[in-house]
Structure 1
Amino acid sequence: LVRCYHGLGDSIQFARFLPMLAARTASLTVEMQPRLIDLIAGPGGGIRFVPFIDAHPLPQSECDLEITELDFALRLTPADAAMPYLAAESGVLPHGCVGLCHGAGPWDPARSIPPHLLAPICAMAPCISLMPEATMLPVLNPDGCPFDMKATAALVGATDLVITVDTMIAHLAGAMGKPTWLLLKSDPDWRWPVGARGTPWYPSMRIYAQPSAGDWETPLAELARDLAACPALAAER
């Protein structure tokens, strides 16, 4: 039994190891956040997915693991997993479209960016919001992104680039192999290498980190310079 007791991003990040675990077990049940099951389960695979309900967790199993323990339990690294490992039917968006996500939730407000700081990006390329709320940014979907994982994944799949803070969208885009530019606070948690431009967890990801706490202007200026030089978007400007 594998339990998904942390955030959606944690479950997406470590779901890459589930097929390798399934190959070593007689049976595998994954107790997962209901919002993720349809996206991660996919066709076949020999894994039983059940929704995680706080008030009624499954009883203890003979072998009981939390999903973020899988790399340690299996003695695997991110490089041992095939990439990309998530897929979705893509929606239809203009060529060169950029997906934007500025919010990371109230439990760590230091990860989030004031949305107006992303407005210059909207002047450089057609953009959509990947936030599940209305926005004042000049994007193609001012009402925001549907609160549905498969619909969100379809939007991510239709973009040419995702620019996001450290939240579930970063893991979703990275797991789908989408070019992803991650805006990272100066003291990130364990999964992001400090001082590095990339990460072994998501080969398609590029990191733009704050040089000091609260300074989003510096990484955003660097990101804007790189975006201006991006050939995939040049035809749209």
Structure 2
Amino acid sequence: YDKAISLKPDYAGAHWNKSLELLALGQFKEGWKSYEWRWKHEDLGSKLPNFSQPQWLGVESLQGQTILLHSEQGLGDTIQFCRYAKLVKAQGARVVMEIPAALVPLLQGLEGVDELVQSRQALPAFDYHCPLLSLPLAFKTELSTIPSPEPYLRSDKAKVNQWRIKLGPKSKPRVGLVWSGSTQHKKDHNRSLRLDELIHYLPNSFDYVCLQKEIRAVDQETLKQSRIQYFGDELKDFADTAALCELMDVVISVDTSVAHLSGALGRPTWVLLPYVPDWRWLLDRE
């Protein structure tokens, strides 16, 4: 990548791919800088919103200012990086966060956020803005300073009680399962499994609960014949999924939004990763 960049300094693809390598290796200082090239990489289809207000990257004082933090990429990315809101709030700012409608019930009351706005709705006045995945650059995040080792999301207690009743009496440890994600994901073939590839590895000494709402046609018959509890449309939003996660002894998931949700809730979470994982999982980790 360095050779390509030396020949063509504005080669966004080389900068972008270099950033993924650096981040996967835990070399965050340079990785976050190069990650900003995502806005110039035409193949990614990412465009930095054309606000008249300046982007904040940690330089200007936010004391007494209002900043808009806005989602980008997938739902899991928003769940993973919304933890930075309380760090922004600690800078003395009023924090407005714009998020997809599917996450509004879940993120109500998120620490550090003064106002939640649903995507594509009218925005209040603000002085600065920052995409969520640029916040690690703004705060110069290193491996040793990744924020929120403690849970930073909370489930709705009333919903937890509703799901406890729905699940019925507990007789075995409960395992929440997610074996496939959205088919719209560009690398879905690297992360999703067929249920019949997984089901033979599920011992009888546990109860299993499906935490994904969408079931692919290829998995429907296998699921129907299995011991896995499935609730489908009863999972109305991520607040329901969060409540169900709270009742699991462990969540086992492929690299999708539920893995981030379960981790953010502080639940024991095992993530099934491909041999070459997404950068955020780093390498040679447990």
TM-score, length basis structure 2: 0.62
1:80-229 alignment to 2 at 5 Å? Answer: 80-88=147-155, 89=157, 90=160, 91-92=163-164, 93=167, 94=170, 95-106=172-183, 107=185, 108-109=187-188, 110-120=190-200, 121=202, 123-134=204-215, 135=220, 136-137=222-223, 138-144=226-232, 146-197=235-286
Describe the SS at the equivalent of 2:279. coil
Distance in 2 separating the partners of 1:47 and 1:122: 46
In 2, are the aligned partners of 1:133 and 1:143 still within 8 Å (CA)?
no
> Structure 1 residues 18, 45: closer, same or farther in 2, change over 3 A?
closer
Match of 1:222 in 2: none
In 1, are the aligned partners of 2:95 and 2:112 still within 8 Å (CA)?
no
Distance in 2 separating the partners of 1:24 and 1:43: 17
Cα-to-partner distance string for 1:157-176 (whole Å, 9 max, x where unaligned)? 10001010000011001111
In 2, are the aligned partners of 1:21 and 1:74 still within 8 Å (CA)?
no
Distance in 2 separating the partners of 1:143 and 1:82: 31
In 1, are the aligned partners of 2:97 and 2:113 still within 8 Å (CA)?
no
Work out whether 1:41 is the aligned partner of 2:112.
no
Of 6-15 and 76-85, more deviation after overlay is shown by 76-85
- Structure whose residues are more often helix by fraction: 2
Distance in 2 separating the partners of 1:52 and 1:154: 24
TM-score, length basis structure 1: 0.74
> Structure 1 residues 44, 196: closer, same or farther in 2, change over 3 A?
closer
Distance in 1 separating the partners of 2:210 and 2:203: 10
Structure 1 unmatched runs, 5+: 198-237
Of 14-23 and 56-65, more deviation after overlay is shown by 56-65
Aligned partner of 2:174: which letter? C
> Structure 1 residues 177, 46: closer, same or farther in 2, change over 3 A?
closer
Work out whether 1:73 is the aligned partner of 2:138.
yes
> Structure 1 residues 83, 99: closer, same or farther in 2, change over 3 A?
same
Distance in 2 separating the partners of 1:85 and 1:186: 29
Distance in 2 separating the partners of 1:42 and 1:96: 30
In 2, are the aligned partners of 1:129 and 1:139 still within 8 Å (CA)?
no
Aligned partner of 1:65: which letter? C
Distance in 2 separating the partners of 1:111 and 1:43: 29
Match of 2:128 in 1: 63
Aligned partner of 1:96: which letter? P
> Structure 1 residues 177, 184: closer, same or farther in 2, change over 3 A?
same
Structure 2 unmatched runs, 5+: 1-67
Distance in 1 separating the partners of 2:110 and 2:278: 33
Match of 1:206 in 2: none
Describe the SS at the equivalent of 2:103. helix
What is the root-mean-square deviation in Å for CA atoms of aligned residues? 2.3
Aligned residues: 195
Aligned partner of 1:141: which letter? Q
Distance in 1 separating the partners of 2:92 and 2:126: 13
In 2, are the aligned partners of 1:30 and 1:48 still within 8 Å (CA)?
yes
